[in-house]
Amino acid sequence: MKLLILGCGNAGLAVATRAKALGWEVVATTTRESRIAEIEQVADKGLVVRGADREAVKAAAADCDAILVSVSPPIMQSRTIEEREQSYRDVLVESCKSSVQACQRVVFMSSISVYADGLQGDGNLINENTPRSTSDEPSTIYYSLAEDAILSSPGGTVLRLADIYGHPRDIDFTARVRLAHEHMGGSVSFAGSGRLHRVHVEDVADALLFVLEHDLTGAYNCVPDLAPSPTNKEAFDRLADESGQPHLEFRGELKTPMKQVSSKKLRDAGFVFHHPDDVIS
């Protein structure tokens, strides 16, 4: 198996490490020349490629059996909603369009943000039959459009992921509370009643390899779900109390799932999560 990882961030590095251990050949890309040395510690080859560059992606994918699209929009560099929209469009949608033109087998790291608050569906759980939201939030719009590009291909797979944690470079959640007070006046854009769904980077890497090894296509939620995820208010109030900080204010502008996201479809295919999501630290 020869795999192209388009956008080799933390999750991509974990996938590359596991794929190499399986004997796969791995080519991985970045948009920064400074990261090539890091990438080539775990991949056979690192390349500087923009996902929107159709010809560059096609060349990088030469002789590859599959492409993993693991690109991430540079949200911190987008100061206005217009800049955010442009970033999401260029990074997500265009990368997915480039990939399905370059290879028949493509797996996309999507987001449960396609559901927004998830209240458009029936029942107490959000599953793959829950309609994607029509929210005007850029992440909802452009992750959905990127999914459409992937699912237009018979060999396309979409993994809808929660907030990824567990990489050594990640900021822990107690530190996030502190940063919110220091830089945002203790006020955050998401809703306190939304659930704090998370998935460990090791489970993400395992799931991505699982769908490739088992040739799963279509859309799958990838969120630990055997125990209910706490609400944002429950989790962050507890962390604030334990660290002696004031509680955060939740403005509710950014819509995130208020119901538990179910990964039964992925688990029924045989996948097992090894990191629970019900304990936040």
Tens digit of pLDDT for each residue in 161-204? 999 999 888 888 899 999 999 999 999 988 999 999 999 999 99
Domain positions in the chain: 2-163+198-223+264-268
Q: Are strands 106-111 and 2-6 parallel, antiparallel or unpaired?
A: unpaired
Q: Is the pLDDT of residue 15 over 60?
A: yes
Distance CA 279, CA 281 (A): 7
Q: Is the pLDDT of residue 276 over 80?
A: no
Average pLDDT over residues 131-148: 95
What does each C-alpha distance from 14 to 145, 166, 210, 267 come to in angstroms? 26, 11, 13, 21
pTM, entire model: 0.94
Q: Is 198 helix (H, G, I), strand (E, B) or coil?
A: strand
Q: What is the pLDDT of residue 170?
A: 84
Q: State the CATH class of domain 2-163+198-223+264-268.
A: alpha beta
Q: Tell me, what DSSP letter sits at residue 113?
A: G
Distance CA 14, CA 161 (A): 15
- Helix axis angle for 138-151 and 94-102, nearest 10°, is 10
